[in-house]
Amino acid sequence: MHAKIIDGKQIAEEMRADLSQEIEALRQSGVTPGLAVVLVGEDPASQVYVRMKGKACEKIGIYSETIKLPEETTEEGLLAEIDRLNNDEKIHGFLVQLPLPKQINSRNVLLAIMPEKDVDGFHPVNVGKIAAGDTTGFPPATPFGVQQMLIRSGVEISGAHAVIVGRSNIVGKPMASLLVQKADGANATTTICHSRTKNLPEITRQGDILIAAMGVPEFVKADMIKPGAVVIDVGTNRVDDPSTEKGYRLVGDVDFEKAKEVASAITPVPGGVGPMTITMLLYNTVQAAKQWAGA
C-alpha cells in the first residue's frame, strides 16, 4: 500500500484563509484580535517559535506583542507582567513560552493566566473544560491541530479506535479528551499508551487511527501499525546527520519510509502536524476575541 500523505502545510493554509476572513469581519466591527507572547530568557528554540508566532499574527491581521524579559527575571516579576496582560484590553489571548528559567515555577505561572485569555489551553480550567466537552474552553494547539487534520482529510473518526502513544499533558491526554467527546469530529474509542504499557505493539496494531506523540525518534515501526490505519506523527526530533549542511535532520516518532507502506494515510515530518500548531493558536486567539466581544 502507498499511503496518502496528509499535507499539514496545505490544511494550515486553508484554515488561515478562513480565519483571515473572520478577523477582517471582527475588525470591521471594531475588534482587532490581540495576542501577546512572553519570552523569558534566550533559549534559541523558544526565540524561533516566538518569532514565528509574531510573524503569523502580522500576516493574518492579529495585533501582536512580544514581551522579552531577561533570563534572571523573578517569579514575582513575571507574575506582575501576567497581571498586566490579564487586564490589557487590546490583548485577548496570551501565552508564556515554555520552558522557563529554573527560578520560576511554571505551575504558578500557568495558574496566574486568566483562563479566558489562556489560548495555549494549559490552565486547569481549560483542561477541565476540554475534558468535559465544554466548547468555550481552549484546547492546546497540537492535539487541536491533529483533530482538525483528521476532520479536514475526511478521516472517519466516529466509531474508530484512536490509539495515542504518549501521555503528556500538552498532547497525549488532551488528544484523548478531544477525540472521545460526544461531538462532531470525535466519538472515537480512545486508548492512551505510554512507556509502561505492556504489549505495546499489540495495542498500537488495534488503532484505526494511530497518533505517535512520545518524542522518541522513529519509535513506531511498520509492524506496530494496523494495515490501512491513519498514522499521525506528532514527533519532531533532531537526529545527527553529518551528510546534511546543518549536521542534523528532523525525524518524527514514526519510521515514515516503512510506515507509509502499511498505512492508508500518514503525516510527514516536517510538513505534517508542525504547520498546524501556530494556526490553532491563531484560531484560539480569534475565539478569545469573539468571546470577549460577545460575538
- Where on the chain is the footprint of ligand GUN (CB under 6 A)? 95-98, 120, 141
Of 75, 114, 118, whose CA–CA distance to 94 is shortest?
118
Residue type, position 182, single letter: K
- Least Å from the CB of residue 157 to ligand GUN: 23
**What is the closest distance, in whole angstroms, from the C-beta atom of residue 99 to ligand GUN in the complex?**
7
Choose the catalytic residue: 53, 117, 173, 226: 53
Answer yes or no: 233 catalytic: no
> Could you give the C-alpha distances from 230 to 2, 160, 167, 184, 238, in angstroms and in order?
12, 10, 19, 18, 24
Q: How far is the CB of 207 from ligand GUN (least distance, A)?
A: 25
> Cell 502580522 sits at which residue?
58
Verify whether residue 223 is a known catalytic residue: no
List the helix and strand counts (H, then E) for the chain: 10, 11
d(CA 45, CA 205): 34
The distance of closest approach from Cβ of residue 236 to ligand GUN in the complex, given in angstroms and rounded to an integer, is 10
63 vs 122 by CB, closer to ligand GUN: 122
Catalytic residue, chosen from 118, 120, 233, 253, is 120
Residue closer to ligand GUN, measured from CB, 65 or 191: 65
- 147 vs 204 by CB, closer to ligand GUN: 147
Counting beta carbons within 10 angstroms of the beta carbon of residue 15, is it exposed (0 to 12), middle (13 to 18) or buried (19 or more)? buried
- Considering beta carbons, is residue 236 or 264 the nearer one to ligand GUN? 236
Closest residue to ligand GUN, based on beta-carbon distance? 98
Helices (H), the chain: 8-28, 44-60, 75-86, 106-112, 124-132, 141-152, 172-180, 200-204, 256-259, 274-293
90 is catalytic: no
Active site residues: 53, 97, 120
